[in-house]
Amino acid sequence: MKTERDEKRLERLKERLGEGVGAENYRKLSKIANPELHLFVAKYVELCDPEKVFVCTDAPADIQYVRREAVRAGEEQELATPGHTVHFDGYYDQARDKKNTKFLLPEGVDLGPGINATEREAGLAEIHEILRGIMQGKQLFVRFFCLGPLKSEFSIPAVQLTDSAYVAHSEDLLYRQGYEEFVRLGERARFFKFVHSAGELDGRKTSKNIEKRRVFIDLEDETVFSANTQYGGNTIGLKKLAMRPAIKRASREGWLTEHMFIMGVHGPSGRVTYFTGAFPSLCGKTSTSMLPGETIVGDDIAYLRSRDGEVRAVNPEKGVFGIIQGVNSEDDPLIWRTLHSPGEIIFSNVLVTEEGGVHWIGKDEEEPKSGFHHSGEWKPGKLDDEGFEISLSHPNARFTLDLQLLENVDPALNDPEGVAVGGIIYGGRDSDTKVPVERSFDWVHGVVTMGAALESETTAATLGKEGVRKINPMSNLDFLSIPLGKYIKNHLEFGAGLENPPPIFSVNYFLRDRNREGKFTNEKADKAVWLKWMELSSHGEVEALETPTGLVPKYEDLKRLFRAVLGKEYSKEDYARQFTVRVAENLAKIKRVVEFYKTKVPDTPKVVFEVLEEQRRRLKSSL
């Protein structure tokens, strides 16, 4: 029910937009018959006080206006290749701000240990004070998107308010336009809400007041607030920030929001089997989803629902906000070709050369001797204010593009029915325990020993200390908005409701040989063989050997696949090195996982400990 205050806000919004140039923007907003939406826009227009308001529809002219504004305002610069632009974040605004990313929780609500949260009313008061007048002299973009294919039961409408044309432009590439979906749904739209301001900008058009950088997630109202930051992970609200309210909504409604790619693996006789895959950072997620010869539905997030006893999945996004460091012509040929072709692509925090090209760490071309990037003019040896050398691009430099630019995009990307999931993959960086590929005995065994027990080692390049093991259940720990025990219970119950649950697999590309100076037991390209074996296994077309930890391929099948897929021989010696069960290491892993759940997850389902104990007994009896 509207209050008197609400009515006055709506009147002021009409006065503000109802005359002159603004009249067209008011007409666009009024076409959507949703009072909750109107009140939301009115509230934050009044609070943030922008000079102009632009309501963007799905019309190509409106979308092009946003792109032009990003360049005109100096948030992006055009590059030599047609369609390419570059954006620079501030030098100290280059990654997700975990410290200031907080859940706003009502009194008495506890999401468990390790969750960064603050009391809801106090948090709302703080962010509203920061947002007060923050858009004065700036333009507010009112954007409408759809998380998931249009006209689909999977999908969630979303409205974004932002004063950054760069953020608005990025979302055009990453998400499906949703204005007409809002018009279609009217009052039935149960939408997510996002409010962002880059805040005061410095001379380089980057956020100035980062000491007041805040990212607050209000689960009660399904609203995300972001202020005084431009980096995409803090500002492109529909991405990882939207995962938090989506996980909460999925938990209430009996479906899953997962940190997973969706890809089509091409099997015999033209068959395509769809797999989802969850991998922590630097564990092979992108390289798996982009394997040549296969097709991609999504590289990062998946919504999974049970329909008629089977799992179906959609990608809530339609684009990629990808890390560019290390992308090269040999390991990433599909992405490489796209990044070097005309098309609408935003590069961020890379080095721009005098010719208007771009360079990044790990690009297999001769490094430029000078250029321009997020620190300003750059030459090798340049130091920052703390005396650290500044690399030629930021390690977290990114590219943003529509999946349609990739030659391997799957035709089912926008299917409102989603794709049938034929298998689920969990992968981590593990030097001494897990075999390269393994199938679980059943759904519960897979959820517990491969998903809930997903563990990965840190690398020296990223955290300064190599080999530190981190348990990251389903590779989703950073984004959970419900207690971890509840999250695992949801997976177990989801599988119990399936007629024929898809098989669950684990992969490990980083197993090292104890007898060969610690070299990897497999090569980078071998993952293509593991993937083909999983595709055949999901259809019951290959047999497997039962081990204490799961089902592994038979040597004869892998030998045939190595010839067919990679054109090379596969020796019994390699097979033995890779698929011999390392009992002591597996027992040590179980001990670590049990300790984690006993000490840090008070609501762990009992079956987790039962399944781990059964695995421990099988391992002990194999000695």
Burial of 391 from C-beta contacts in 10 A (0-12 / 13-18 / 19+): middle
Could you report the per-residue pLDDT of 325-379, keeping only the tens digit for each? Answer: 989 998 889 999 999 999 999 999 999 999 999 999 999 999 999 999 999 999 9
Q: Looking at the structure, do residues 103 and 155 belong to the same domain, yes or no? A: yes
Burial of 252 from C-beta contacts in 10 A (0-12 / 13-18 / 19+): exposed
Q: Looking at the structure, do residues 260 and 142 belong to the same domain, yes or no? A: no
Amino acid letter, residue 164: S
Residues with Cβ within 8 Å of 429's Cβ and at least 6 positions away in sequence, in order, are 280, 282, 283, 456, 457, 459, 508, 509, 510
CA nearest 103: which of 86, 94, 116, 113? Answer: 116
Give the separation between CA 229 and CA 212, rounded to whole angstroms.
9
User: For the chain, give me the number of helices (H) and strands (E)?
Assistant: 19, 31
Give the separation between CA 588 and CA 436, rounded to whole angstroms.
18
- Give 296's strand partners: 263, 409
- Domain contains 176: yes
- Domain contains 41: yes
Could you report the per-residue pLDDT of 311-336, keeping only the tens digit for each? Answer: 999 999 999 999 999 899 988 899 99
Residues with Cβ within 8 Å of 252's Cβ and at least 6 positions away in sequence, in order, are none
Residues with Cβ within 8 Å of 578's Cβ and at least 6 positions away in sequence, in order, are 435, 436, 511, 521, 522
- Output the six-digit token pair for 543: 């047999």
Q: What is the mean pLDDT of residues 384-410?
A: 94
Contact (CB, 8 A) for 171 and 196: no
Tell me what pLDDT residue 459 has.
59
Burial of 4 from C-beta contacts in 10 A (0-12 / 13-18 / 19+): exposed
Q: Looking at the structure, do residues 530 and 393 belong to the same domain, yes or no? A: no
Could you report the per-residue pLDDT of 127-145, keeping only the tens digit for each? Answer: 999 999 999 999 999 999 9
Total-model pTM? 0.94
Q: Looking at the structure, do residues 150 and 11 belong to the same domain, yes or no? A: yes
Assess whether pLDDT exceeds 50 at residue 460. no
Q: Looking at the structure, do residues 514 and 604 belong to the same domain, yes or no? A: yes
DSSP, collapsed to helix, strand or coil, labels residue 129 as helix
Could you report the per-residue pLDDT of 205-236, keeping only the tens digit for each? Answer: 999 999 999 999 999 999 999 999 999 989 99
Residue ending a domain, choose from 371, 405, 439: 405
- Domain contains 91: no
Amino acid letter, residue 227: A
pLDDT band at 464 (very low <50, low <70, confident <90, very high): very low
CA nearest 288: which of 273, 272, 269, 275? Answer: 275
Give the separation between CA 172 and CA 59, rounded to whole angstroms.
12
Assess whether pLDDT exceeds 70 at residue 495. yes
Question: Over the chain, what is the mean pLDDT?
Answer: 94
The number of domains in the chain is: 3
DSSP, collapsed to helix, strand or coil, labels residue 405 as helix
> What is the crossing angle of helices 35-48 and 22-30, to 10°?
150
Q: Looking at the structure, do residues 423 and 392 belong to the same domain, yes or no? A: no
pLDDT band at 462 (very low <50, low <70, confident <90, very high): very low
Tell me what pLDDT residue 461 has.
40
- Output the six-digit token pair for 13: 């919004």
Measuring CA to CA, how many Å separate 36 from each of 30, 190, 250, 252, 284?
Answer: 12, 10, 22, 22, 42
Residues with Cβ within 8 Å of 116's Cβ and at least 6 positions away in sequence, in order, are 98, 99, 101, 102, 103
Provide the annotated active-site residues: 283
DSSP, collapsed to helix, strand or coil, labels residue 513 as coil
Could you report the per-residue pLDDT of 509-553, keeping only the tens digit for each? Answer: 999 987 776 789 998 899 999 999 999 999 999 999 999 999 999
- Domain contains 519: yes
Measuring CA to CA, how many Å separate 579 from each of 239, 515, 575?
Answer: 37, 15, 6
Residue ending a domain, choose from 405, 425, 447: 405
CA nearest 476: which of 217, 234, 257? Answer: 257
CA nearest 60: which of 170, 181, 177, 186? Answer: 177
Q: What is the CATH number of the domain that holds 54?
A: 3.40.449.10
Could you report the per-residue pLDDT of 575-590, keeping only the tens digit for each? Answer: 999 999 999 999 999 9
Q: What is the CATH number of the domain that holds 385?
A: 2.170.8.10
- Domain contains 85: no
Could you report the per-residue pLDDT of 17-48, keeping only the tens digit for each? Answer: 876 667 899 999 999 999 999 999 999 999 99
Burial of 362 from C-beta contacts in 10 A (0-12 / 13-18 / 19+): middle
Give the separation between CA 381 and CA 145, rounded to whole angstroms.
43
Q: Looking at the structure, do residues 599 and 524 belong to the same domain, yes or no? A: yes
- Domain contains 266: yes
Residue 506: half-sphere exposure toward Cβ, Cα within 13 Å: 36
CA nearest 579: which of 457, 452, 438? Answer: 438
Give the separation between CA 101 and CA 620, rounded to whole angstroms.
44
Domain assignment of residue 564, given as a range: 256-318+413-621
Q: Looking at the structure, do residues 515 and 610 belong to the same domain, yes or no? A: yes
- Domain contains 83: no
pLDDT band at 463 (very low <50, low <70, confident <90, very high): very low
Q: Looking at the structure, do residues 193 and 264 belong to the same domain, yes or no? A: no
Radius of gyration of the chain (CA): 25
Q: Looking at the structure, do residues 106 and 165 belong to the same domain, yes or no? A: yes
Pairing, β 376-378 against β 371-373: antiparallel
First to last CA, the chain: 69
pLDDT band at 8 (very low <50, low <70, confident <90, very high): confident
DSSP for 546-605 reads EETTEEEE-HHHHHHHIIIIIS----HHHHHHHHS--HHHHHHHHHHHHHHHHHH-TT--
Q: What is the CATH number of the domain that holds 563?
A: 3.90.228.20
Residues with Cβ within 8 Å of 284's Cβ and at least 6 positions away in sequence, in order, are 427, 507, 509, 527
Q: Looking at the structure, do residues 266 and 391 belong to the same domain, yes or no? A: no
Q: What is the mean pLDDT of residues 549-575?
A: 97
**Other beta carbons less than 10 A from residue 569's beta carbon:** 9
- Give 160's strand partners: 143, 194
Assess whether pLDDT exceeds 90 at residue 421. yes
Contact (CB, 8 A) for 77 and 85: yes
Residue ending a domain, choose from 356, 380, 405: 405
Give the separation between CA 503 and CA 371, rounded to whole angstroms.
50
- Domain contains 81: no
Q: Looking at the structure, do residues 64 and 158 belong to the same domain, yes or no? A: yes
- Output the six-digit token pair for 242: 């939207």
Give the separation between CA 40 and CA 486, rounded to whole angstroms.
31
Tell me what pLDDT residue 21 has.
64
Residue 377: half-sphere exposure toward Cβ, Cα within 13 Å: 0
